[in-house]
Protein backbone atom coordinates (compact mmCIF):
# COMPACT_ATOMS: atom_id res chain seq x y z
CA UNK A 1 0.00 0.00 0.00
CA UNK A 2 1.35 3.41 -0.98
CA UNK A 3 0.73 6.39 1.29
CA UNK A 4 1.36 9.89 -0.07
CA UNK A 5 1.97 13.15 1.78
CA UNK A 6 2.21 16.33 -0.27
CA UNK A 7 3.10 19.91 0.55
CA UNK A 8 0.07 21.85 1.77
CA UNK A 9 -0.84 24.57 -0.73
CA UNK A 10 -3.35 26.72 1.15
CA UNK A 11 -2.00 30.22 1.79
CA UNK A 12 -0.62 30.51 5.32
CA UNK A 13 -0.69 26.76 5.96
CA UNK A 14 2.56 25.65 7.56
CA UNK A 15 1.56 22.23 8.85
CA UNK A 16 2.35 18.88 7.25
CA UNK A 17 0.09 15.81 7.48
CA UNK A 18 2.79 13.37 8.63
CA UNK A 19 5.97 14.11 10.56
CA UNK A 20 9.00 11.79 10.53
CA UNK A 21 8.02 10.24 13.88
CA UNK A 22 4.74 8.95 12.42
CA UNK A 23 6.38 7.91 9.15
CA UNK A 24 8.65 5.61 11.14
CA UNK A 25 5.65 4.15 12.98
CA UNK A 26 3.81 3.44 9.73
CA UNK A 27 6.94 2.00 8.13
CA UNK A 28 7.28 -0.39 11.06
CA UNK A 29 3.76 -1.63 10.29
CA UNK A 30 4.77 -2.34 6.70
CA UNK A 31 3.23 0.77 5.14
CA UNK A 32 5.25 2.52 2.42
CA UNK A 33 5.15 6.31 2.82
CA UNK A 34 6.27 8.79 0.18
CA UNK A 35 6.60 12.50 0.96
CA UNK A 36 6.91 15.43 -1.42
CA UNK A 37 10.28 17.12 -1.05
CA UNK A 38 10.03 20.18 1.17
CA UNK A 39 6.60 19.21 2.53
CA UNK A 40 7.75 19.54 6.13
CA UNK A 41 10.07 22.54 5.82
CA UNK A 42 7.56 25.15 7.03
CA UNK A 43 7.00 23.03 10.14
CA UNK A 44 10.78 22.58 10.59
CA UNK A 45 10.98 18.93 9.52
CA UNK A 46 13.74 18.38 6.97
CA UNK A 47 13.79 15.97 4.05
CA UNK A 48 16.72 14.24 5.70
CA UNK A 49 14.61 13.50 8.78
CA UNK A 50 11.95 11.90 6.59
CA UNK A 51 14.57 9.82 4.81
CA UNK A 52 15.96 8.55 8.12
CA UNK A 53 12.40 7.68 9.20
CA UNK A 54 12.05 5.36 6.21
CA UNK A 55 9.93 7.59 3.97
CA UNK A 56 10.57 7.96 0.26
CA UNK A 57 11.02 11.46 -1.18
CA UNK A 58 9.55 12.61 -4.48
CA UNK A 59 9.64 15.92 -6.32
CA UNK A 60 6.61 15.42 -8.60
CA UNK A 61 3.45 16.13 -6.60
CA UNK A 62 1.17 15.04 -9.43
CA UNK A 63 2.88 11.67 -9.78
CA UNK A 64 2.91 11.24 -6.02
CA UNK A 65 -0.84 11.82 -5.77
CA UNK A 66 -1.61 9.78 -8.87
CA UNK A 67 0.20 6.67 -7.66
CA UNK A 68 -1.06 6.70 -4.08
CA UNK A 69 -3.52 4.27 -2.54
CA UNK A 70 -3.95 6.53 0.49
CA UNK A 71 -3.45 10.31 0.50
CA UNK A 72 -3.00 12.10 3.83
CA UNK A 73 -3.58 15.85 3.97
CA UNK A 74 -4.16 18.64 6.46
CA UNK A 75 -6.38 20.87 4.31
CA UNK A 76 -9.05 19.88 1.76
CA UNK A 77 -7.74 19.41 -1.80
CA UNK A 78 -7.44 22.55 -3.89
CA UNK A 79 -6.08 23.81 -7.20
CA UNK A 80 -2.31 23.40 -7.22
CA UNK A 81 -0.60 26.15 -9.23
CA UNK A 82 2.67 24.22 -9.28
CA UNK A 83 1.16 21.36 -11.27
CA UNK A 84 -1.54 23.39 -13.00
CA UNK A 85 -4.34 21.08 -11.90
CA UNK A 86 -6.73 20.53 -9.02
CA UNK A 87 -5.40 17.95 -6.57
CA UNK A 88 -8.64 15.96 -6.85
CA UNK A 89 -8.11 15.60 -10.61
CA UNK A 90 -4.77 13.82 -10.11
CA UNK A 91 -5.77 11.49 -7.25
CA UNK A 92 -6.80 8.23 -8.89
CA UNK A 93 -10.36 6.91 -8.61
CA UNK A 94 -10.69 4.36 -5.83
CA UNK A 95 -7.92 5.89 -3.73
CA UNK A 96 -8.57 6.91 -0.12
CA UNK A 97 -8.18 10.51 1.08
CA UNK A 98 -7.90 11.31 4.79
CA UNK A 99 -7.64 14.80 6.26
CA UNK A 100 -9.44 17.62 8.01
CA UNK A 101 -11.90 18.14 5.14
CA UNK A 102 -14.62 20.23 6.86
CA UNK A 103 -17.29 19.10 4.36
CA UNK A 104 -19.87 21.65 5.51
CA UNK A 105 -17.48 24.45 4.50
CA UNK A 106 -16.30 22.81 1.27
CA UNK A 107 -19.35 21.23 -0.42
CA UNK A 108 -17.92 21.75 -3.91
CA UNK A 109 -14.78 19.77 -3.14
CA UNK A 110 -16.83 16.99 -1.52
CA UNK A 111 -19.02 16.69 -4.61
CA UNK A 112 -15.91 16.61 -6.81
CA UNK A 113 -14.37 13.84 -4.69
CA UNK A 114 -17.56 11.77 -5.00
CA UNK A 115 -17.71 12.29 -8.78
CA UNK A 116 -14.09 11.24 -9.07
CA UNK A 117 -14.75 8.05 -7.07
CA UNK A 118 -12.33 8.94 -4.26
CA UNK A 119 -13.13 7.49 -0.83
CA UNK A 120 -12.79 10.43 1.55
CA UNK A 121 -12.69 10.47 5.35
CA UNK A 122 -12.98 13.75 7.25
CA UNK A 123 -11.02 13.61 10.51
CA UNK A 124 -13.18 16.49 11.79
CA UNK A 125 -16.24 14.22 11.66
CA UNK A 126 -14.87 11.40 13.77
CA UNK A 127 -17.29 10.79 16.66
CA UNK A 128 -16.12 11.83 20.09
CA UNK A 129 -16.01 8.40 21.69
CA UNK A 130 -13.34 6.88 23.92
CA UNK A 131 -11.96 4.60 21.21
CA UNK A 132 -11.43 7.55 18.86
CA UNK A 133 -9.69 9.93 21.27
CA UNK A 134 -6.26 9.26 19.74
CA UNK A 135 -7.67 10.25 16.32
CA UNK A 136 -9.38 13.50 17.39
CA UNK A 137 -7.75 16.18 15.24
CA UNK A 138 -10.37 18.78 16.20
CA UNK A 139 -9.37 18.55 19.86
CA UNK A 140 -5.65 18.53 19.07
CA UNK A 141 -5.90 21.64 16.94
CA UNK A 142 -8.42 23.39 19.22
CA UNK A 143 -5.99 23.00 22.12
CA UNK A 144 -3.36 24.89 20.16
CA UNK A 145 -5.86 27.52 18.99
CA UNK A 146 -7.00 28.26 22.55
CA UNK A 147 -3.43 28.65 23.77
CA UNK A 148 -2.48 30.96 20.92
CA UNK A 149 -5.67 33.02 21.30
CA UNK A 150 -4.82 33.88 24.89
CA UNK A 151 -1.33 34.98 23.84
CA UNK A 152 -2.79 37.15 21.06
CA UNK A 153 -5.21 38.76 23.52
CA UNK A 154 -2.37 39.50 25.93
CA UNK A 155 -0.28 40.96 23.12
CA UNK A 156 -3.07 43.21 21.80
CA UNK A 157 -4.31 44.44 25.18
CA UNK A 158 -2.74 47.79 26.17
CA UNK A 159 -2.32 46.69 29.77
CA UNK A 160 -0.83 43.86 31.82
CA UNK A 161 -2.59 40.53 32.26
CA UNK A 162 -1.21 39.82 35.77
CA UNK A 163 -1.50 41.78 38.98
CA UNK A 164 1.79 43.49 39.75
CA UNK A 165 2.98 45.34 42.81
CA UNK A 166 5.49 48.02 41.85
CA UNK A 167 7.10 51.07 43.41
CA UNK A 168 4.57 53.13 41.45
CA UNK A 169 1.66 51.23 42.96
CA UNK A 170 -0.35 48.07 42.38
CA UNK A 171 -1.53 47.09 38.93
CA UNK A 172 -4.80 45.16 38.99
CA UNK A 173 -5.10 42.01 36.85
CA UNK A 174 -6.90 42.06 33.52
CA UNK A 175 -10.39 40.57 33.29
CA UNK A 176 -10.76 37.94 30.57
CA UNK A 177 -14.11 36.56 29.45
CA UNK A 178 -14.07 33.28 27.47
CA UNK A 179 -17.12 32.25 25.47
CA UNK A 180 -17.25 28.51 24.85
CA UNK A 181 -15.65 26.02 27.23
CA UNK A 182 -14.79 23.27 24.80
CA UNK A 183 -11.18 22.23 24.22
CA UNK A 184 -10.14 25.62 22.78
CA UNK A 185 -11.97 27.57 25.47
CA UNK A 186 -10.54 25.53 28.32
CA UNK A 187 -7.02 25.96 26.98
CA UNK A 188 -7.62 29.71 26.58
CA UNK A 189 -8.80 29.83 30.21
CA UNK A 190 -5.77 27.89 31.44
CA UNK A 191 -3.32 30.05 29.46
CA UNK A 192 -4.92 33.34 30.52
CA UNK A 193 -4.84 32.16 34.14
CA UNK A 194 -1.16 31.23 33.84
CA UNK A 195 -0.53 34.74 32.53
CA UNK A 196 -2.19 36.11 35.67
CA UNK A 197 -5.59 37.27 34.43
CA UNK A 198 -8.87 36.96 36.29
CA UNK A 199 -10.99 34.72 34.06
CA UNK A 200 -14.70 34.14 33.66
CA UNK A 201 -16.23 31.74 31.13
CA UNK A 202 -19.62 30.78 29.76
CA UNK A 203 -20.95 27.82 27.79
CA UNK A 204 -24.35 26.50 26.77
CA UNK A 205 -23.48 23.20 28.48
CA UNK A 206 -23.80 23.47 32.27
CA UNK A 207 -21.87 20.22 32.68
CA UNK A 208 -18.59 22.03 31.88
CA UNK A 209 -18.91 24.21 34.99
CA UNK A 210 -16.60 21.97 37.04
CA UNK A 211 -13.97 21.95 34.29
CA UNK A 212 -13.99 25.75 34.15
CA UNK A 213 -13.78 26.04 37.93
CA UNK A 214 -10.98 23.47 38.13
CA UNK A 215 -8.84 25.88 36.08
CA UNK A 216 -9.41 28.70 38.54
CA UNK A 217 -12.03 30.55 36.51
CA UNK A 218 -15.58 31.56 37.36
CA UNK A 219 -18.46 29.99 35.40
CA UNK A 220 -21.32 32.20 34.21
CA UNK A 221 -24.18 30.30 32.62
CA UNK A 222 -27.86 30.51 31.73
CA UNK A 223 -30.03 28.11 33.68
CA UNK A 224 -31.86 25.77 31.28
CA UNK A 225 -33.34 22.30 31.13
CA UNK A 226 -32.51 21.98 27.43
CA UNK A 227 -29.73 19.62 26.40
CA UNK A 228 -26.97 21.65 24.79
CA UNK A 229 -24.91 18.72 23.51
CA UNK A 230 -25.63 16.39 20.59
CA UNK A 231 -24.94 12.66 20.41
CA UNK A 232 -21.50 13.31 18.91
CA UNK A 233 -20.38 15.41 21.87
CA UNK A 234 -20.64 18.77 20.09
CA UNK A 235 -22.67 21.84 21.08
CA UNK A 236 -26.02 22.12 19.33
CA UNK A 237 -28.53 24.90 18.69
CA UNK A 238 -31.03 25.77 21.43
CA UNK A 239 -34.29 27.72 21.74
CA UNK A 240 -34.73 31.46 20.98
CA UNK A 241 -35.57 32.08 24.65
CA UNK A 242 -32.26 30.55 25.74
CA UNK A 243 -30.32 32.71 23.29
CA UNK A 244 -32.15 35.84 24.48
CA UNK A 245 -31.03 35.20 28.06
CA UNK A 246 -27.55 34.27 26.90
CA UNK A 247 -27.26 37.53 24.92
CA UNK A 248 -28.06 39.52 28.05
CA UNK A 249 -25.38 37.67 30.00
CA UNK A 250 -22.77 38.08 27.25
CA UNK A 251 -23.50 41.81 26.89
CA UNK A 252 -22.96 42.34 30.63
CA UNK A 253 -19.76 40.30 30.79
CA UNK A 254 -18.25 41.85 27.65
CA UNK A 255 -18.85 45.35 29.03
CA UNK A 256 -16.89 44.42 32.16
CA UNK A 257 -14.05 42.56 30.41
CA UNK A 258 -10.68 43.77 29.20
CA UNK A 259 -10.32 40.85 26.79
CA UNK A 260 -12.93 38.53 25.31
CA UNK A 261 -11.96 35.21 23.68
CA UNK A 262 -14.71 33.50 21.69
CA UNK A 263 -14.49 29.82 20.71
CA UNK A 264 -18.12 28.75 20.20
CA UNK A 265 -18.89 26.38 17.31
CA UNK A 266 -22.02 24.36 16.60
CA UNK A 267 -21.29 20.87 15.32
CA UNK A 268 -17.61 21.72 15.41
CA UNK A 269 -17.81 23.98 12.33
CA UNK A 270 -20.58 26.62 12.44
CA UNK A 271 -20.02 29.77 14.52
CA UNK A 272 -23.15 31.22 16.17
CA UNK A 273 -23.34 35.02 16.23
CA UNK A 274 -23.03 35.86 19.94
CA UNK A 275 -21.50 39.35 20.13
CA UNK A 276 -23.36 42.10 18.29
CA UNK A 277 -21.99 45.44 17.14
CA UNK A 278 -24.06 47.03 19.90
CA UNK A 279 -22.31 44.85 22.50
CA UNK A 280 -18.93 45.92 21.12
CA UNK A 281 -20.02 49.54 21.39
CA UNK A 282 -20.70 48.92 25.07
CA UNK A 283 -17.15 47.68 25.75
CA UNK A 284 -14.37 49.85 27.15
CA UNK A 285 -11.98 51.56 24.75
CA UNK A 286 -8.76 49.57 24.50
CA UNK A 287 -10.42 46.23 25.17
CA UNK A 288 -9.85 43.26 22.86
CA UNK A 289 -11.89 40.50 21.23
CA UNK A 290 -10.08 37.46 19.80
CA UNK A 291 -12.54 35.44 17.73
CA UNK A 292 -11.17 31.91 17.45
CA UNK A 293 -14.33 30.94 15.53
CA UNK A 294 -13.56 33.41 12.72
CA UNK A 295 -13.15 30.70 10.07
CA UNK A 296 -16.61 29.37 10.93
CA UNK A 297 -18.19 32.76 10.33
CA UNK A 298 -17.19 34.40 13.61
CA UNK A 299 -18.90 34.73 16.99
CA UNK A 300 -18.68 38.52 16.75
CA UNK A 301 -20.69 40.54 14.24
CA UNK A 302 -17.68 42.76 13.49
CA UNK A 303 -15.17 39.94 12.95
CA UNK A 304 -13.41 39.89 9.59
CA UNK A 305 -11.77 36.46 9.11
CA UNK A 306 -8.03 36.79 8.78
CA UNK A 307 -8.01 40.47 9.79
CA UNK A 308 -7.68 42.65 12.88
CA UNK A 309 -9.92 45.73 12.96
CA UNK A 310 -10.71 48.45 15.49
CA UNK A 311 -14.35 49.38 16.07
CA UNK A 312 -15.66 51.75 18.76
CA UNK A 313 -12.17 51.68 20.31
CA UNK A 314 -12.23 47.87 20.59
CA UNK A 315 -9.70 45.71 18.75
CA UNK A 316 -11.44 42.77 17.06
CA UNK A 317 -9.06 40.05 15.90
CA UNK A 318 -10.31 37.26 13.60
CA UNK A 319 -7.29 34.97 13.26
CA UNK A 320 -7.36 32.37 10.50
CA UNK A 321 -5.85 28.94 11.04
CA UNK A 322 -4.29 29.46 14.46
CA UNK A 323 -2.77 25.94 14.62
CA UNK A 324 -0.55 26.85 11.65
CA UNK A 325 1.03 29.52 13.88
CA UNK A 326 2.62 26.72 15.92
CA UNK A 327 3.45 24.40 13.01
CA UNK A 328 5.90 22.05 14.74
CA UNK A 329 3.58 20.94 17.52
CA UNK A 330 0.44 21.26 15.39
CA UNK A 331 1.96 18.97 12.75
CA UNK A 332 3.20 16.51 15.34
CA UNK A 333 -0.19 16.17 17.03
CA UNK A 334 -2.13 16.09 13.75
CA UNK A 335 0.27 13.47 12.42
CA UNK A 336 -0.20 11.28 15.49
CA UNK A 337 -3.97 11.51 15.03
CA UNK A 338 -3.69 10.47 11.38
CA UNK A 339 -1.30 7.63 12.14
CA UNK A 340 -3.64 6.33 14.85
CA UNK A 341 -6.53 6.40 12.37
CA UNK A 342 -4.62 4.55 9.65
CA UNK A 343 -3.17 1.92 11.99
CA UNK A 344 -6.55 1.29 13.66
CA UNK A 345 -7.94 0.03 10.36
CA UNK A 346 -4.78 -1.49 8.91
CA UNK A 347 -5.42 -5.22 8.70
CA UNK A 348 -3.61 -7.90 6.71
CA UNK A 349 -1.65 -5.38 4.67
CA UNK A 350 -4.68 -3.26 3.77
CA UNK A 351 -6.62 -0.27 4.99
CA UNK A 352 -10.01 -1.86 5.72
CA UNK A 353 -13.16 0.14 5.04
CA UNK A 354 -15.72 -1.41 7.38
CA UNK A 355 -18.86 0.71 7.46
CA UNK A 356 -20.15 -1.24 10.45
CA UNK A 357 -17.49 0.58 12.43
CA UNK A 358 -18.91 3.79 13.90
CA UNK A 359 -15.63 5.69 13.49
CA UNK A 360 -15.34 5.00 9.78
CA UNK A 361 -19.04 5.47 9.25
CA UNK A 362 -18.98 8.84 11.01
CA UNK A 363 -15.92 10.11 9.13
CA UNK A 364 -16.93 8.95 5.64
CA UNK A 365 -18.00 11.80 3.34
CA UNK A 366 -18.07 10.01 -0.02
CA UNK A 367 -19.32 6.54 -1.06
CA UNK A 368 -17.08 3.59 -0.32
CA UNK A 369 -16.83 -0.09 -1.03
CA UNK A 370 -15.99 -2.75 1.55
CA UNK A 371 -12.27 -2.08 1.53
CA UNK A 372 -9.66 0.11 -0.07
CA UNK A 373 -7.15 -1.26 -2.52
CA UNK A 374 -3.82 -2.09 -0.91
The whole-number pLDDT of residue 221 equals 86
Asked about 140 being catalytic, the answer comes back as no
Per the CB < 8 A criterion, the answer to whether 36 and 23 are in contact is no
Q: How confident is the model at residue 371 (pLDDT cuts 50, 70, 90)?
A: very low
Q: How confident is the model at residue 229 (pLDDT cuts 50, 70, 90)?
A: low
2-125+326-363 matches 142-325 in fold = yes
Nearest CA to 102 out of 77, 65, 130, 68 is that of 77
What percentage of the chain carries pLDDT values higher than 70? Answer: 94
Contacting residues for 105 by C-beta, under 8 A, at least 6 apart: 269, 295, 296
Q: Identify the CATH class of 2-125+326-363.
A: alpha beta
Cα dihedral 244, 250, 256, 258 sign: negative
- The angle subtended at Cα 124 by Cα 148 and Cα 301, nearest 5°, is 55
> Model-level pTM?
0.91
Asked about 139 being catalytic, the answer comes back as yes
Per annotation, catalytic residue among 75, 139, 211, 287: 139
The whole-number pLDDT of residue 225 equals 60
Q: Distance between CA 245 and CA 209 in Å, rounded?
A: 18
Task: Give the pLDDT confidence of 277-290 residue by residue, as tens digits.
Answer: 999 999 999 999 99
What are the structural domain ranges in the chain? 2-125+326-363, 142-325
β-sheet bridge partners, residue 98: 72, 121
Asked about 128 being catalytic, the answer comes back as yes
Per the CB < 8 A criterion, the answer to whether 3 and 70 are in contact is yes
pLDDT, the chain, mean: 92
Given a cut of 50, whether residue 369 has pLDDT beyond it is no
Query: What are the helix (H) ranges across the chain?
Result: 20-28, 47-52, 61-66, 87-90, 107-116, 137-156, 183-194, 209-214, 240-256, 277-281, 327-344, 358-363
Per annotation, catalytic residue among 46, 115, 133, 214: 133
Task: Give the pLDDT confidence of 44-86 residue by residue, as tens digits.
Answer: 999 999 999 999 999 999 999 999 999 999 999 999 999 999 9
Q: Identify the CATH class of 142-325.
A: alpha beta
Task: Give the pLDDT confidence of 168-185 residue by residue, as tens digits.
Answer: 999 999 999 999 999 999
Lowest average pLDDT, out of 132-136, 160-164, 318-322, 354-358, goes to: 354-358
Nearest CA to 213 out of 237, 241, 181, 239 is that of 181
Amino acid sequence: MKVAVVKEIREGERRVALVPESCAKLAKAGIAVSVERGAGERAFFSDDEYRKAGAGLESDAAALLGNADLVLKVQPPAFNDAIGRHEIDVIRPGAVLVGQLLPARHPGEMAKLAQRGIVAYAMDRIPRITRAQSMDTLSSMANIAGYKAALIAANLLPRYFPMLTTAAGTVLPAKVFVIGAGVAGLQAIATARRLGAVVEATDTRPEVREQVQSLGARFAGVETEESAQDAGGYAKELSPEFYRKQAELIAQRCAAADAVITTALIGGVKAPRLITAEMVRGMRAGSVIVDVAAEGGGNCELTRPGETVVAHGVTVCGPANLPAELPWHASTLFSRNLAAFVLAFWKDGRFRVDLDDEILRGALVTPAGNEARG
